[in-house]
Each structure stands twice: as structure tokens, then as C-alpha cells.
């Protein structure tokens, strides 16, 4: 039969474990917060970037003069460069110009 001493030992071990968890809890919470915060921040940046690009792409027309965007280059990250007849240019990385890309391939 376990003695009172054994109960005390078990209880103090349990208490130690609880204290260790409690001591590390702020760090765990901080890391969780940072992790999800980073995911949310990246999502927001992605969504804002998409809408900004969509606004500038303007269904294939320059927002300043209404000329049609003409493809001229692709950068190393896969962004496509477009320009028009009036010296305006635009770089986009979202697949907003897919139809144009397909049309380009068909020409070749
Ligand atoms: Zn223009």
C-alpha cells in the first residue's frame, strides 16, 4: 500500500510538470501567435497584391490612356512585363493575363 510519502512525491512531481508547462506557456503562445500572424499577414499581402494588380491590369488596358497592354518580357520570378504605346508599363505575377498568354502561344 502506498504511503503518505509516496503521495507527496507524486503530487510534487505533478506540480513540477504543471509549473514547467505554465512557465513555457507564454513562449508557446507567442510562437503560435507569430506563426498564425505571419500566415494572416502573408494572406493579406497576397490578396491586396492581387487586387492592386487586377486594378492596374484593367482587363488588358492601360488605366492612364486606355491602350492595350503588350507583352514584352518575363522576369526570373515569372512576372510578366507589359507596356503600351505611351511608355506606360506594368509587371504582374498573378495569372490575370492568362488569356493573353494563351493568345501569345497560339501566335507562335
Ligand atoms: Zn498607357
The per-residue pLDDT for range 38-71, each reduced to its tens digit, is: 999 999 999 999 999 999 999 999 999 999 999 9
Tell me the CA–centroid distance for residue 61 and ligand 1, in Å.
Answer: 8
Percent of the chain at pLDDT above 90? 79
Task: Tell whether the model's pLDDT for residue 8 goes beyond 60.
Answer: yes
Cβ neighbours around 16 below 10 Å, total: 10
Q: What is the mean pLDDT of residues 21-32?
A: 92
How far does the centroid of ligand 1 lie from the alpha carbon of residue 75, in Å? 21
Q: What is the pTM of this model?
A: 0.62
Cα(84) to centroid of ligand 1, in Å? 5
| Cα(83) to centroid(ligand 1), Å | 8
Question: What pLDDT is attached to residue 1?
Answer: 76
CA of 67 to the centre of ligand 1 (A): 6
Q: What is the pLDDT of residue 83?
A: 94
Task: Give the model's pLDDT for residue 108.
Answer: 44
Q: Cα separations (Å) of 57 from 45, 46, 50, 66, 105?
A: 18, 16, 10, 11, 20
Q: Compute how many other C-beta atoms are within 10 angstroms of the C-beta atom of residue 82.
A: 21
Amino acid at each position: 500500500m502506498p504511503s503518505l510519502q509516496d503521495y507527496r512525491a507524486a503530487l510534487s512531481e505533478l506540480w513540477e510538470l504543471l509549473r514547467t508547462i505554465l512557465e513555457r506557456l507564454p513562449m508557446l503562445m507567442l510562437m503560435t501567435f507569430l506563426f498564425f500572424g505571419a500566415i494572416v499577414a502573408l494572406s493579406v499581402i497576397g490578396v491586396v497584391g492581387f487586387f492592386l494588380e487586377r486594378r492596374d491590369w484593367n482587363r488588358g488596358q492601360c488605366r492612364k490612356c486606355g491602350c492595350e497592354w503588350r507583352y514584352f518580357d518575363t522576369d526570373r520570378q515569372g512576372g510578366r512585363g507589359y507596356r503600351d504605346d505611351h511608355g506606360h508599363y506594368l509587371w504582374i505575377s498573378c495569372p490575370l493575363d492568362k488569356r493573353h498568354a494563351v493568345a501569345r502561344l497560339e501566335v507562335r
